[in-house]
Structures are given as C-alpha cells and as structure tokens.
Amino acid sequence: MAQPRLNFRGVSVLLVDRSHYCRSLVAQMLRAFGVQSVISCETGAEAKDQLKTNSVELCVIEADLPDMTGADFINWIRRENKEPLRFVPILVLSGYTQMRMLSTTRDAGANLLLKKPLSAQAMFDRLAWLARTPRSYIETKNYVGPDRRFKEVAPPDSVFKRETDTPEESADTDDTSRSAAE
Amino acid sequence: MSGVMKKVYFPKIKLQEMLMRPGGIARDEAISGAIESLRAESGESNAEIEKAIAAIAAIASGAKGNVLPEQDMKKVLERADEIVTFAGTFGYTYLDRAARGLCDMADGLIRTRCSDAAPIHVHVMALRLFSPNAATPSVAEAEKVLSELASVMAFYKFSSLDA
C-alpha cells in the first residue's frame, strides 16, 4: 500500500516555545515536511499579538509558557476568538518537567499532545492522524474544543499489525475509546 | 434529563483540507529529510548542552552554606529540562538519564521546600561526565555513576516525574 502523503504547501504554523533552540529544531522539522511559513514566538503574549495580524492553520505550543500556561493560551484561542482561529488544531509539546500539565492542556481544548524529545516520525504521524480523522467539536459551559473521546481505528495498512493479531482482536481494539493524550 | 447545554458539531478545519490535497510529501521522504536537517544541527546542540550544564553549575556554585533558594532551584529545573530535550533528540542516553534524574531531584526539593544544594552538585558532576564533549565513559562507569544518582534519589525518597 502507498505511503501516506501530506501536502504542507501554503500551510502556516505558529510555534510557541520558551527555548530558542527548541523552536529552531521544531521549525526545521516542519520545513523539511514542506511547511514554508513558521511564525516563531517565545511567549504567549507575543503569540497573541502575532495571531491578531496573521492567520495560521496549526499551532504548536509548549505546555508551559514563560508568561502563562499552555492551557491559558488554548482557552484564549478556543473561547475568545472567532472561526477559523477558534477551531485551529493545537499540538502541545511537553518537556519532561511539564508532563503534569498535559491533562490541563487537553481539558483546555488541545487536539494532540506530544512529549519531548520530539521525533520526526511522531510529528509526521500525529499530523497525518489529524488530517485523516474527522473529530467533532464540543461546546459546553466548561469546555470548548475537540471531542476528548475518540475511537482509535485500525492502522491504514498492515505495517503496524502484529502477525498474531486475529480479526476478532482487531475489532475489539476498534471499539476501545481512547484519550487524545499520549 | 440534564439541563447542561452542549453543542456538538464538525467545523471546517482548513489544515485537514490543505494536508489532504494531491501531491505533497511521502512519509519516508519527510522523515528522512527532517532527520538529515536535524543531524546538521547536532554541533549547535552540543554547544547548547554545554551552555545549559555550565549554567546549572554556576547556579549551584552560588549556594551559600549548601542552601539553594527555591528561585534558583526552579532555574536548575528549567535548564535540566532543556538538557533532557536535547539529549533525547540526539540520542545521548546517559546524559538523558542523568538530566532526568536532576529534574526529579530539583522537582522533589522544590515540592518539599528542601534547599539542599549537595544533590545538585552531584548531578552536575554526572552531567559533565556524560556531556557530548567529554570522553565517552565505559558502560560500567556510566552505570555506576547512574546507580549512585539513583541512591541519592532514594535517600530523599523522591519519585520520578515520569511515574
């Protein structure tokens, strides 16, 4: 079966991370995928300013920013903006010391969570999943964002299947609701 | 019946539409391109690691009477977290383990309001030993150092941030 292809031409990404060098690594990875425009910011306030004048298709943010938590920033995007920014996919990157914050960023409306150190494989596969998986948005008094429960579907090809998997086992897996947090 | 208002809908996500357009890049090509591009950065990464280790050492050496204020402990945590990210990205396994140990230690010291600088000094020595520019230690040496760091952790009874 053919490999998944993703077309990043024209995609603009907002990247927010306190570390200049981490921003540079993630930006390089995205550019290697074909992303041409990466808006790089150190703080949440700087990112908010950038979003007033630039439209982006993806936000990649650190779980804890120097001036606010990642959850505060996501809440601002989900609650205080109009579409299309309100629905922009948000990928949260967590450093080793920020893992306790992952559940709060998910509950603020993040689409995907990724632990650092980041690999190109993990980044590409998560974006491919994001592209291929329709996910409803939920709006309640306490939550605005993508549905936190989703069904994990079988892989698109046999690459990741164990030889011992039986069709019954695969079907069981398909019925399991999983959280977006990984 | 619940009185909670709930809206469920499928908004148009521009990123999905853009990524699924014809053409684009295949998975293997994208990943190998990214790895190649990161590999070219490894020299700069080593310099960043050395800078972070030096910064932690400078903070620790500022301790007066083995007491490191919480503010400084937080700076140690932040720099150690950076080292974990760089070491993991470029595959420095021992450095990664020592830096994770320092994160666990600094986090535990902050949580318990303990201001001992001694365990930070011990971790700085390990980070220097495992830094990319240092001579590569043997597996036995490395494991011995790491097991000593683990025993320091056990003394303080702190758990791993990963747990």
In this predicted structure, what is the pLDDT of residue B2? 54
Give the tens place of pLDDT for each residue, A55-64: 999 999 999 9
pLDDT at A34: 96
CB A8 to CB B18 under 8 A? yes
pLDDT digits (tens, 9 = 90+) for A85-94: 999 999 999 8
Task: State the nearest Cα–Cα gap between B2 and chain A, in angstroms.
Answer: 13
Q: Which residues of A touch B22 (CB under 8 A)?
A: 7
**Contact yes or no for A7 and B15 at CB 8 A:** no
Quote the ipTM score.
0.80
pTM, rounded to two decimals: 0.81
pLDDT digit string (tens) for A64-123? Answer: 999 999 999 999 999 988 888 999 999 999 888 887 788 899 999 999 999 888 899 999
The whole-number pLDDT of residue A162 equals 52
- Confidence at residue A133, expressed as pLDDT on a 0 to 100 scale: 87
CA angle A38, A39, A41 (to 5 degrees): 130
Of A122, A152, A149, which Cα lies nearest the Cα of A136?
A149
Provide the mean pLDDT of chain B. Answer: 92
pLDDT score, position A1: 61
At B42 the pLDDT is 80
Q: B88 at the A interface (CB within 8 A)? A: yes
Best-predicted range by mean pLDDT among A99-103, B18-22, B39-43?
B18-22
Q: Is the pLDDT of residue A155 over 80?
A: no
B111 has a chain A CB within 8 A of its CB = no
Average pLDDT over residues B84-104: 93
Contact A115, A99 (CB under 8 A): yes
- State the pLDDT at residue A165: 47
For chains A and B, count residue pairs whose Cβ atoms are closer than 8 Å: 167
Closest-CA residue to A33 (of B19, B139, B8): B19
Nearest CA distance, A165 vs chain B (angstrom): 25
Mean per-residue pLDDT, B57-65? 92
Distances (CA, A) of A123 to A117, A135, B77: 11, 19, 26
Tell whether A107 is within 8 A of chain B (Cβ): no
Kindly report, residue by residue over B105-136, the tens digit of the pLDDT: 999 999 999 999 999 999 999 999 999 989 98
Cα→Cα distances B57→A57, B117, B118, B138, B141, Å: 41, 11, 12, 24, 22
